[in-house]
Amino acid sequence: MSLLHATWLPAIRNPTSSGRPALLVWADTWRVASPAGPGATPALHPFTLSSTELRAWLAAMDLLPDGIFDATACLTLPSRSLGLRSSQKKIKPQSEETDEITPVWTGLPLQAGEPIPKEPEWWPWQVEGLAIEPASATSWLSKLPLSGNNPDLADELRWWSHLQRWALSIIARGRWLPHVELSRGEGYPHRARWVPLLNRENDRRRLEDFATRLPLVATCALPWREPAGIRSNRTTRLRPEAMRAANPVASCRPRSGRLRVANLLEELVDAQLRKGFESNVEGLDPLLQVWQEALGSDTGVISLDTEEVERLAAASNHWKEGVAGSVAPARACLELFTPQEGEDLWELRFSLQAEADPTLKVSSSIAWATGSKILQLGEVRVDHPGEVLLEGLGRALTVFPTLERGLETATPESMYLTPAEAFVLVRTAAAQLRDVGVGVELPASLSGGLASRLGLAIQAELPEASRGFTLGENLDWKWELMIGGVTLQLKELERLAGKRSPLVLHQGVWIELRPNDLKNAERFCSSNPVMSLDDALRLTATEGDTLMKLPVHRFDSGPRLQVVLEQYHQQKAPDALASPPGFVGQLRPYQERGLGWLAFLHRFDQGACLADDMGLGKTIQLLAFLQHLKVENELKRPVLLIAPTSVLTNWKREANAFTPELRVYEHYGPRRLSTSNALKKALLNEDMVLTSYGLMQRDIDLLDMIDWQGVIIDEAQAIKNPSSKQSQAVRDVARSGKNNRFRIALTGTPVENRVSELWALMDFLNPKVLGQEDFFRQRYQIPVERYGDISSLKDLKIRVSPFILRRLKTDKAIISDLPEKVELSEWVDLSNEQQSLYRSTVEDTLDAIACSPRGQRHGKILGLLTRLKQICNHPALALKEKDIDKEFVLRSAKLQRLEEILDEVIEAGDRALLFTQFAEWGHLMKSYFQKKWNFEVPFLYGSTAKNKRQAMIDRFQEDPRGPQIFILSLKAGGVGLNLTRASHVFHVDRWWNPAVENQATDRAYRIGQENRVMVHKFITSGSVEEKIDRMIREKSRLADEIIGSGEDWLAGLGVNQLRELVALEDS
C-alpha cells in the first residue's frame, strides 16, 4: 500500500512556478530496492510513486488537488546504511567523463513506521511528486480528515490539516494584518503579505504546540533546481559539476520548529486572504493603491521605489509592533508576589520567560547582564535577551501604565504596587498583558481559573450500616467553604466581604472576592444540602464539577467510600473474585478480576461492558459470573443471551464444558417454541437462554413476555446502529418488564474509541449516562468524529469508562498471566446448504464404499473425508466453483465466523496467518477477502515461484504498511518460514496430525518472543472435524495410529466405524 505525504517546498524558481512556495504531495510504497547513494546529486528515492501513478492514485481517492504541476524536490530523510549489491555497481550509464562520481555512501531511505536501525543516517533523496500552489493547497488541506486513522494518509497530513484549521481560525477571528516584506536580497522582490498576529496567549501556546509536534518530514525539503541546459536540449548531458552546482548533496538540518511553523502558518493565511481579497477601492493615495493591489495579486510583488517601499515597510512594522512582537523564543514576564507580613505593598518582578515552557524563567538581572550575548534558558537559546525584555516591557506599558514607575532605573528588576494597583493587575490588566504577548504570573491563590474561586471542600464516608451498594443512599458528610486553597466559615466570609476590598488576606493567603460569592455561599448554607453516593461518583469523576453552583475544590472520602470510588472509576484493578464452586476449570488472575468487576457493577445495578481483547476469555468470565450468581442463590429467573448465529454453538460448547451446572436452553432453529405459555413452561428450570440477534428481532413479542433476570449481548457491536430494528429490539428487551434486568455486553472491539457506536451500547447498558441520541450527537459525536475534539472525547470517556472494562493481551498485567501460545477452539456450525450437502455426500458415498471392492475403498474413503472437510469450509470448494457469488459468505458458517474474527484482528492492527490444506480454498478466500477489505491478501502455496515467495515473506515481515492477512497452504507454508510479525494463527481446517499444525503455528511463534500468539482452531460442530479434534485431544489409540501411520488405517475401517466418524451429529 502507498502512503501519501506532504512536504512544504520553499520558494522555487522554474518555468512553471515563479519562485513561489508550494506544497509537495508525494507518496511512497514498499517495494524491493537496491541500496543507492548520492552521486553528483542526491539519489532518486527508490520507493516513491511517479507523478503519473500519484495522479491516478489521488484521483481514485478523490483527493486530486487543483493547481498542480509535476515537481521534484530534495528531501532529507533518515536512512539505513547498506552495502551496494554487486550487480548494481553501475547505477549510471557509461560515461566518457573521467570524473564520474561513485557514491560514497549507499543505503535506503527509511519509511514511516519502519523499525529504526541502530545508527540511522540522514541523506538527501530526490523525490518526485506534485506541487500545489499555496491557494489550492489550502483548500486541499481543508478537505483532509482532521482525525481518525486513515491508512493511506501519513501522520503529517493530519498535522497539515490541523495547521490549516488554525489558519482558518486566524482568518475567522480577523487576527491578521497586511504587511510589507522587504526584499531579502538580490533577486527577491519586495512583497505585500498577510501576516497572522500571534500575540494572544492561546495562539502563542499553539505555536509552541505545533512546533514541538512538527513531524519533520513536513519541512525537510530543499527545492530541486532544473539546471538550465536540460530544457534547451534534452540529449545534452549535463556535466556533473553543473548538476552538483544546481543540486548539491545537501541535507536539511532538523531545527527548532517555531519560526518554521510561524512561516508555514503565514503562508497558509497569506494564500487564503490573497485569494479572497478584492483590491477594488478607489481614491487611495499612490502608496496605499500599490499596496492594495499587491495584497490581492498572485505574487504580492510591490513595484515602488526602494525609498517608498521602505517607508511603507516601516509604517507597517510600527503598526504591528504595538500589538505583536516578532516570533521570539522568549518573552517578558511580570511576576506578582503577595506582600510580606505586615506590609501592604505587592512586589512585581520582571523576568524573561521561555515561550516553549513558561516554567523556564530567569530574573531580568540575568537578561541585562547577558548584554548582546546569547542567553540559555534551559534548552532555549535567546539572542539579545535584554532587547526582548525591553521590547515586551514597552508593550506592557501601553496596557498597564503603572509599570512606568518601575522602569526608571537602568536595569530594573522589580517594583512595588499598591493594593489598588495589584487589584487592577489581577482583574483586568493581566489578561490584556497576555494579549500583547507579555507573560503574567500571579500568586496561586489569585491565578484565576476555578481553583481561586469560592467553592467547597468536602469530606464524606459511607454510613456505618451501608454496604455502598445503592446509588441513592445518603452519605455521612461534612463540608466547608474554600477559596484560594484555604477553608473559611461563612462568618469569616461575611467579615472579609465587609472590608470592601477585593483582595483580602485570610489565614496568610491573599484571595480575591467576587460580588456574588457571598450570596452563593449564603444560599448554599441555608439550603441544608445532602449528598448521595450518586453525587459522590459524579463529583469525583471530573475536576471542577459543581454542587449548587459552587465548584468542589477538594473531595476527601473515607476509607470505605474510597474503595467504592476507586473501583468505580477504575483507578485500581477491581478486586478479584475466585472462580465459584461448580466452575470447571481455572480462571487466570486477570479473569478473576474481570469476574470481580462484573459482580461489582451488578451490585450497583449498573450495566457492564466487558471488552477484553480477543482470546482473553470473555465467554468464560461471563459463564463464571452466572455460576457465581447461581451459587449465591441470586439466579432466580432465566437470563437471555443474544449472540450472532455463528457463535451460538461456541457458547453452548463452552457452557457445557465450564459450567455444567448452568442449564442452557436454546431458542433457535425451526423447531423453537412459538407461544409464550409453552416457552414459559419450558424455561421453568432453565438458567440461560441462547438466541440469535435475528430471532431476537423476529420473536421480540414472544421473548418480551418472559420475565428475564438479565440480558446479555455478545459481539455487542451488532447493536451499534441505534435506528436498526435489531438494535431497537435488544434495547427494548433490556429495559421492559416489571423487574429490573441486569445488562451485560461483550465485545472484542475497542468500543470506547468508536464514538458513533457508543450511544446504542450505553443506551442498552445505562440509558441515563449519555442521554438522548440527539443530545449525544451534538455534544459528542460531531465534535469528536468530525473535528477530533479531544476535550469532548475526554469527557465522553470519563462518563462511560466506569462501565467498560477493556484489557489487551499486550498489557503488562495480562501478558504475565498468559501462556506464550493461547489455543482457542472456534466452534462453528454448518449453514443449511452445507448441512444438506454434507448429509447427501455421506449417504451417497457410504453406500458406494460399502459395495466397492476392498482395493478401491481406501481411495474412496480418503476422497469422502476430503470432500467433507471441503464442505465444512465452504460448499463452493466442494462444488469446485471458481467465482465468488453474492451470497458467498452466507453459504458457510465457518467463513462467517472467520470473517468476524478477522475484522477484529484488522481493527486492532494485528497480523494473522491463515493455514489451509486446500489450495483452491486459499484462492477463494484470497479473492473474497481482497474484495471485501479492498487490500491485497497474499497467498503462498505449492506453485508460488521461489522469488515471489521470498518477496511475499519479506513484505509481510518488513513493510511497515504491509498486508495484515497472509494465507498459506499448510504444506508449502508450514515449514521453514519466519513470519513472527503475526500474532494470530488460524487453522481454518484440521489436519489429522497435530504436529503438522504445531509446526505451522511455529511460523509465527518463536521461543522468547514478546508477543503472545493466539492460535485459532476452527472446528465444525458435529462434523468429521469434531471427531478429528476429539481424537487428537483424547490421544486415543486411533489417533496414535493416525499419527503413526498416516492415513492407511482408514482403509481398515468398517462401514459402521466409518459412519460413526463422518455422520453429521446433531450438535
Q: Which of residues 233-272 bind other proteins (CB under 8 A)?
A: 253-256, 272
143 binds other proteins per the rule CB under 8 A? yes
C-alpha angle 380/381/384, rounded to 5°? 135
726-752 residues labelled b (16+ CB within 10 A) or e (exposed): bbbbbbebbeebeeebbbbbbbbbebb
Distance separating alpha carbons of residues 411 and 746, to the nearest angstrom: 68
Interaction with other proteins in 886-915: which residues (CB under 8 A)?
none
The single residue among 120, 419, 448, 558 that binds other proteins, judged by CB under 8 A, is 120
Interaction with other proteins in 213-232: which residues (CB under 8 A)?
213-217, 220
Give me the residue label for grid cell 530541486. 224
Closest CA to 806 of 603, 590, 563: 590
C-beta of 41 vs 316, nearer to other proteins: 316
549 binds other proteins per the rule CB under 8 A? no
C-beta of 21 vs 109, nearer to other proteins: 109
The single residue among 10, 19, 67, 145 that binds other proteins, judged by CB under 8 A, is 145
- Judged by CB under 8 A, which stretch of 376-384, 588-596, 772-780, 907-915 contacts other proteins? 376-384
Alpha helices in 134-239 (DSSP H): 134-143, 155-172, 201-212, 229-232
Q: In the chain, how long is the greatest CA-to-CA distance?
A: 118
Question: Would the CA dihedral through 403, 409, 415, 420 be positive or negative?
Answer: negative
Q: How far is the CB of 307 from other proteins (least distance, A)?
A: 5
746: part of which helix (H) or strand (E)? strand 742-746
- Judged by CB under 8 A, which stretch of 108-116, 621-629, 755-763, 913-921 contacts other proteins? 108-116
Distance separating alpha carbons of residues 399 and 206, to the nearest angstrom: 23
- Judged by CB under 8 A, which stretch of 83-91, 155-163, 497-505, 565-573 contacts other proteins? 155-163
Distance separating alpha carbons of residues 824 and 616, to the nearest angstrom: 10
1 binds other proteins per the rule CB under 8 A? no
564: part of which helix (H) or strand (E)? helix 559-568
| DSSP bridge pairs for 1013 | 821
Distance separating alpha carbons of residues 121 and 584, to the nearest angstrom: 57
The single residue among 278, 341, 1010, 1066 that binds other proteins, judged by CB under 8 A, is 278
Distance separating alpha carbons of residues 433 and 207, to the nearest angstrom: 18
Q: How far is the CB of 569 from other proteins (least distance, A)?
A: 22
Cα dist. 298→20, 274, 324, 445 in Å?
Answer: 10, 7, 26, 52
C-beta of 377 vs 924, nearer to other proteins: 377
824 binds other proteins per the rule CB under 8 A? no
The single residue among 51, 136, 161, 247 that binds other proteins, judged by CB under 8 A, is 161
Q: Under 8 Å CB-to-CB from 23, ≥6 apart: which residues?
A: 6, 7, 8, 9, 131, 132, 134, 137, 140, 141, 160
Per residue, what are the HEC states of 927-954? HHHHHHHCCCCCEECCCCCHHHHHHHHH
- Judged by CB under 8 A, which stretch of 401-409, 449-457, 565-573, 1019-1027 contacts other proteins? 401-409
C-beta of 653 vs 779, nearer to other proteins: 779
CB 777 within 8 A of CB 761: no
738 binds other proteins per the rule CB under 8 A? no
323 binds other proteins per the rule CB under 8 A? yes
546-576 residues labelled b (16+ CB within 10 A) or e (exposed): ebeebbbbebebeeebbebbebbeeeebbeb
C-beta of 502 vs 788, nearer to other proteins: 788
Closest CA to 266 of 220, 327, 223, 329: 327
326 binds other proteins per the rule CB under 8 A? no
The single residue among 62, 285, 464, 701 that binds other proteins, judged by CB under 8 A, is 285
The single residue among 237, 320, 538, 971 that binds other proteins, judged by CB under 8 A, is 320
The single residue among 15, 185, 187, 286 that binds other proteins, judged by CB under 8 A, is 286
158 binds other proteins per the rule CB under 8 A? yes
Interaction with other proteins in 833-862: which residues (CB under 8 A)?
none
Q: How far is the CB of 779 from other proteins (least distance, A)?
A: 12
Torsion of CA 532, 538, 544, 548, to 10 degrees: -40
The single residue among 97, 298, 343, 379 that binds other proteins, judged by CB under 8 A, is 379
Give me the residue label for grid cell 481553583. 451
Interaction with other proteins in 934-963: which residues (CB under 8 A)?
none
448 binds other proteins per the rule CB under 8 A? no
- Judged by CB under 8 A, which stretch of 109-117, 128-136, 626-634, 678-686 contacts other proteins? 109-117
The single residue among 266, 391, 512, 715 that binds other proteins, judged by CB under 8 A, is 391
The single residue among 44, 63, 64, 366 that binds other proteins, judged by CB under 8 A, is 366
Closest CA to 750 of 800, 815, 694, 823: 800
394 binds other proteins per the rule CB under 8 A? yes
288 binds other proteins per the rule CB under 8 A? yes
The single residue among 154, 622, 689, 925 that binds other proteins, judged by CB under 8 A, is 154
CA 173 to chain centre: 30
Q: How far is the CB of 379 from other proteins (least distance, A)?
A: 5
Burial class of residue 337, CB neighbours in 10 A (0-12, 13-18, 19+): middle
13 binds other proteins per the rule CB under 8 A? no
404 binds other proteins per the rule CB under 8 A? yes
Give me the residue label for grid cell 540529449. 235
C-beta of 255 vs 495, nearer to other proteins: 255
Give me the residue label for grid cell 493565511. 269
CB 227 within 8 A of CB 238: yes
- Judged by CB under 8 A, which stretch of 236-244, 375-383, 812-820, 1027-1035 contacts other proteins? 375-383
Q: How far is the CB of 483 from other proteins (least distance, A)?
A: 27
- Judged by CB under 8 A, which stretch of 511-519, 660-668, 670-678, 788-796 contacts other proteins? 788-796
150 binds other proteins per the rule CB under 8 A? no
The single residue among 514, 519, 786, 931 that binds other proteins, judged by CB under 8 A, is 786
Q: How far is the CB of 753 from other proteins (least distance, A)?
A: 12
Q: How far is the CB of 436 from other proteins (least distance, A)?
A: 8
Distance separating alpha carbons of residues 324 and 331, to the nearest angstrom: 11
C-beta of 35 vs 196, nearer to other proteins: 196
Distance separating alpha carbons of residues 459 and 554, to the nearest angstrom: 8
The DSSP-derived string for 596-642 is: HHHHHHHHTT--EEE-PPTTS-HHHHHHHHHHHHHHTT---S-EEEE
Burial class of residue 408, CB neighbours in 10 A (0-12, 13-18, 19+): exposed
Interaction with other proteins in 167-206: which residues (CB under 8 A)?
168-169, 171-178, 197, 202, 206
Interaction with other proteins in 74-103: which residues (CB under 8 A)?
77-78
61 binds other proteins per the rule CB under 8 A? no
Distance separating alpha carbons of residues 237 and 235, to the nearest angstrom: 6
The single residue among 127, 290, 312, 893 that binds other proteins, judged by CB under 8 A, is 312
Give the total of residues touching other proteins (CB under 8 A).
114
284 binds other proteins per the rule CB under 8 A? yes
Closest CA to 130 of 16, 44, 220, 54: 54
The single residue among 44, 246, 345, 390 that binds other proteins, judged by CB under 8 A, is 390
283 binds other proteins per the rule CB under 8 A? yes
Distance separating alpha carbons of residues 1059 and 1061, to the nearest angstrom: 5
Gyration radius of the chain over CA positions: 36
Q: How far is the CB of 51 from other proteins (least distance, A)?
A: 22
C-beta of 782 vs 1063, nearer to other proteins: 782
783 binds other proteins per the rule CB under 8 A? yes
